[in-house]
């Protein structure tokens, strides 16, 4: 009878763990979905609002974008450090920061009612940077907090799918709004003046704000955090120690990985600003556009599950190098064959194969990088180090954007993919120098044998 009671308790415990696992997966999926819509719109439509609705100069856009990037970097690290410093309590350590995402969505929805550039600047650089990065820090830190190392690959794979769906839905909303309310352009001297752009931005910004707020509210309600068994570090001390020599030495494996990833990510910003320009080019017909988009979506969608499962059972280094190879080969094929002025049967076939393989590897690389980085976050500073890792994206934008612009202007749009392919293959080999974090467990070895 005692044996049966113990088995029953064990079975109930396993059921409870599975329930929490699935609930947390749904919770974090909602956060990644909502914040994907948020950042897709924040990075694109806030800029076009200034140009097409307020009819202001692109230089003012660049000014706002620069300060927004700086604000995001600062507030992400700060929010993460404050979250790390919270003790065990009934509200949790990450959950309260989800409330920031609710406010960020509300403030985004207020932007299309602004008629002054400086109000948009204030909302984006201050309010969205503060509250958006509160939710950003919470969603990034919860994965290593909750999930053990042998399941993080799959979890990050699901989160990449959430981001893909979120970005696709909000872009779909914007395309529908544009079809219903076309934007007109008028040449006035040397300047293009836009009119009738208000409905497009009103629909897109309010939709993104609503999806962000609702998703972060779901995240707040449904997240179930584990208790910590260590003494948290107060955020003021954590910030003070961030770049101390002692802390850098303690976390040199993470710093080395981050530096390598910074070089690899130059490839991302070489092609990414021109992706939609390439796919939607007037030089290719509707059927060809459809084929390219199907291959792009297919590569991204297939990779989330395959790379997630591979990372659960294999060393990070091995899977990351496989992703590097797929991305490098695929993008190189696009660069060689995708001459938009002359897309014959061979060229369109090889371009589609290149897009499929390239974005399969590209998304797999992102999943691998996040999983590997999370392994290297120190347990008492996961929120802060999620913010520090964000430096990868801000720093690599500068050389990547200039390189992509040079390739585009000097040789043509297809060569931004060739440049990205070459860079990722060359710099991707540096991952061989990074510290491995995941060895095959005995369970995995037995299953394979």
Rounded CA-CA distance 371/314 in Å is 12
Task: Place 440 in a pLDDT band, splitting at 50, 70 and 90.
Answer: low
The answer to whether position 133 is within a domain reads yes
Asked if the structure places residue 219 within a domain, the reply is: yes
* Shared-domain flag, residues 101 and 223: yes
Q: What is the pLDDT of residue 10?
A: 40
| 88 and 108, same domain (yes or no) | yes
Confidence at residue 273, expressed as pLDDT on a 0 to 100 scale: 75
Ranking 145-154, 185-194, 213-222, 335-344 by mean pLDDT, the lowest is 185-194
Residue that is last in its domain, among 208, 241, 274:
241
pLDDT of the residue at 37 = 95
Per-residue model confidence as pLDDT tens digits over 398-433: 888 888 888 888 888 889 999 999 999 999 999 999
Number of other CB atoms surrounding residue 181 within 10 Å: 15
Q: For residue 18, what pLDDT is reported?
A: 54
Q: Is pLDDT larger for residue 348 or for residue 123?
A: 123
Residues 326 and 277 in one domain: yes
The residue among 241, 275, 305 that closes a domain is: 241
Asked if residue 4 has pLDDT above 50, the reply is no
- For the residues 193-197, what does the mean pLDDT come to? 77
Say if 220 falls within a structural domain: yes
Considering only 82-86, 160-164, 274-278, 316-320, which range has the smallest mean pLDDT?
A: 274-278
- Based on the domain organization, do 219 and 291 belong to the same domain? no
Instruction: Let me know how long the chain is.
Output: 449
Confidence of residue 64 (pLDDT cuts 50, 70, 90): confident
Tell me: do 137 and 170 sit in the same domain: yes
Residue whose C-alpha is closest to residue 267's, from 435, 392, 412, 136 = 392
Give the pLDDT mean for 51-62.
Answer: 84
- For residues 363-375, give the mean pLDDT: 96
Q: What CATH number is attached to the domain comprising 119? A: 1.20.1250.20
Whether 445 maps to a domain, the answer reads no
Same domain, 248 and 141: no
Per-residue pLDDT, 5: 43
Percentage of the chain modeled with pLDDT above 70: 90
Per the structure, the count of domains in the chain is 2
Range of the domain at 135: 1-241
Looking at the fold, whether 229 and 248 belong to one and the same domain comes out as: no
Domain boundary among 241, 271, 292: 241
Same domain, 128 and 170: yes
Residues 278, 252 share a domain: yes
Task: State whether 120 and 90 are in the same domain.
Answer: yes
Is the residue at 407 inside a domain?
A: yes
Specify the higher pLDDT residue, 447 or 444.
444
Q: Which of 260-274, 310-324, 404-418 has the highest mean pLDDT?
A: 310-324
Tokens 């690959």 belong to which residue?
Answer: 153
Is the pLDDT at 283 greater than 80, yes or no?
no
Backbone dihedral angles phi then psi of residue 429, each to the nearest 5 degrees: -65, -20
- 174 plus 256 within the same structural domain: no
pLDDT of 8 over the 50 cut: no
Percent of the chain, pLDDT > 90?
Answer: 55
Q: Which residue has the higher pLDDT, 300 or 186?
A: 300
pLDDT for 19 equals 56
Mean pLDDT of the chain: 87
Q: Sorting pLDDT into bands at 50, 70 and 90, what band is 306?
A: very high
Lowest mean pLDDT among 58-62, 72-76, 86-90, 298-302: 58-62
User: Is 448 within a domain?
Assistant: no
What digits encode the pLDDT tens for the residues 124-171?
A: 999 999 999 999 999 999 999 999 999 999 999 999 999 999 999 998
Q: Are residues 55 and 180 in the same domain?
A: yes
Q: What is the mean pLDDT of residues 15-37?
A: 82
Classify residue 67: in a domain, yes or no.
Answer: yes
Task: Please report whether residue 447 resides in a domain.
Answer: no
């Amino acid at each position: 009878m005692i044996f049966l009671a113990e088995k029953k308790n064990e079975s109930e415990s396993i059921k409870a763990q599975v329930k929490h696992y699935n609930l947390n997966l749904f919770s974090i999926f909602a956060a990644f979905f909502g914040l994907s819509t948020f950042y897709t719109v924040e990075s694109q439509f806030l800029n076009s609002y200034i140009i097409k609705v307020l009819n202001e100069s692109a230089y003012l856009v660049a000014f706002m974008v620069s300060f927004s990037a700086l604000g995001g970097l600062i507030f992400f690290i700060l929010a993460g450090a404050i979250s790390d410093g919270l003790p065990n309590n009934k509200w949790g350590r990450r959950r309260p920061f989800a409330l920031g995402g609710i406010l960020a969505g509300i403030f985004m929805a207020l932007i299309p009612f602004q008629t002054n550039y400086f109000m948009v600047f204030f909302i984006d650089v201050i309010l969205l940077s503060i509250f958006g990065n509160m939710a950003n820090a919470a969603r990034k830190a919860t994965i290593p907090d909750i999930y053990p190392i042998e399941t993080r690959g799959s979890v990050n794979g699901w989160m990449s799918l959430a981001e893909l769906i979120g970005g696709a839905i909000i872009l779909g909303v914007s395309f529908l709004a544009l079809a219903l309310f076309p934007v007109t352009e008028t040449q006035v001297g040397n300047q293009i003046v836009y009119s009738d752009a208000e409905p497009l931005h009103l629909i897109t910004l309010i939709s993104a704000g609503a999806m962000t707020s609702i998703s972060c509210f779901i995240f707040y309600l449904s997240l179930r955090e584990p208790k910590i068994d260590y003494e948290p570090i107060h955020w003021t001390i954590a910030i003070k120690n961030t770049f101390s020599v002692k802390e850098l030495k303690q976390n040199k494996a993470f710093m080395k990985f981050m530096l390598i990833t910074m070089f690899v990510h130059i490839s991302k910003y070489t092609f990414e600003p021109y992706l939609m320009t390439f796919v939607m080019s007037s030089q290719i017909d509707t059927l060809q556009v459809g084929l390219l988009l199907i291959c792009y979506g297919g590569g991204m969608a297939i990779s989330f599950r395959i790379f997630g499962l591979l990372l659960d059972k294999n060393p990070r280094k091995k899977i990351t190098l496989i992703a590097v190879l797929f991305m490098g080969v695929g993008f190189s094929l696009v660069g060689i064959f995708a001459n938009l002025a002359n897309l014959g049967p061979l060229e369109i076939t090889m371009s589609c194969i290149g897009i499929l393989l390239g974005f399969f590897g590209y998304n797999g690389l992102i999943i691998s990088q996040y999983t590997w980085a999370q392994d290297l976050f120190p347990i008492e500073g996961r929120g802060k180090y999620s913010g520090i890792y964000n430096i990868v994206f801000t720093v690599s934008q500068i050389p990547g954007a200039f390189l992509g612009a040079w390739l585009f202007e000097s040789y043509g749009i297809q060569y931004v993919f060739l440049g990205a392919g070459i860079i990722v293959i060359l710099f991707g080999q540096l991952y061989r120098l990074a510290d491995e974090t995941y060895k095959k467990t005995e369970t995995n070895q037995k299953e394979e044998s």
